[in-house]
Copies of this chain bind each other. A is one copy, B any other.
């Protein structure tokens, strides 16, 4: 009798404790798979199988379990899940080391948006790199890989002799790169534009417009994309029997001060260019700005074409003639590729070329 009384009191107390607890910190009320199981009168394993929508569970049970989950507000603990299945349903996104102001380029949020879109559809999460300099970045990649933080990675850039890329192929870790890998091209899956032909076409357009003195301004030469665009430019010149002058090539980060020197040099040549192919809309912005300081007008005195078709390239004056590389699409496809690869481990290396199109606007002038 007494024991019953005790028992009752204890239960009562317990109930109130739980109740109070519940009131205080709702977020701490962790409801686990066991709670759900209890409420649905099944074993935890059954609940787990319901979550996975296993065919081995009857519809009746599934419904009952799902109801219990709803009622309890159950959300699976990812960490436990990931530990058990040794994966993380997350993909790592590696930006170039943020030391470079390249990050200010709207290219990144846009490509991130694309990646995020397909990641979301497939219930993957996004992990983005935070590393400041190259070394930190590398360290972080290692942590992601070895620490089981992500199942795969997307590299948002491609440079020559990139230790991170080397590391990833070495470790046989699934990844895709946006841009063309510098080496082992056939063994790495990547999504890219046909930058070579885009550049060629762009340059041809300038040639068609009567330009014979065309400069090329690109970013650091260790970016593969820069080199591809340069190659396209050279080919176009060659095919038109125009000679290629080293003086017309500028490689620069294009932050203000250094950019100034570049433009200064270009326009103090005995024969300054009447047109330029610039590897990135943001650079064009910088160039146009410099140009103005030197009293050179675009497109009157010099025509400008560039790449990426950023949102703002249409807003500035003059609106840029630029190649639309479909940034968003690059993101979408790279994520799709990666996830495909994660699902079927032995998926072969792929290459996906996103079509480009040239947006003709008014930064170029026909001087025929």
Binding site for B on A (CB under 8 A): 25-27, 73, 75-80, 82-83, 88, 90, 98, 101, 103-106, 108-110, 112-113, 115-117, 119-120, 124-132, 136, 140, 142-143, 145-149, 170-173, 256, 282, 285-286, 288-289, 292, 310-312, 314-317, 319
Contact = CB atoms under 8 A, between A and B. Distances in A.
B26 A171 contact: yes
Contact of A98 (B25, B77, B113): B113
A178 to B, nearest CB: 15
Given A109-B109, A288-B317, 16 more contacts: A26-B172, A76-B147, A78-B147, A79-B82, A83-B83, A103-B110, A106-B109, A116-B132, A117-B130, A125-B127, A125-B149, A126-B129, A256-B314, A256-B315, A285-B312, A289-B314
A166 to B, nearest CB: 13
Contacts of A73: 146
A259 to B, nearest CB: 9
Contacts of A311: 101, 104
A126 B125 contact: no
Copies in the complex: 2
A124 B129 CA distance: 10
Contacts of A108: 109
A276 to B, nearest CB: 16
B106 A104 contact: yes
A105 B106 CA distance: 7
Contacts of A109: 103-106, 108-109
Given A104-B109, A119-B130, A79 B88 contact: yes
Nearest 8 A/B pairs, CB to CB: A116-B130, A75-B146, A79-B82, A79-B83, A104-B311, A120-B130, A78-B147, A27-B171
Nearest to A87: B79
A129 B116 contact: yes
A22 B136 CA distance: 27
B127 A127 contact: yes
A98 B78 contact: no
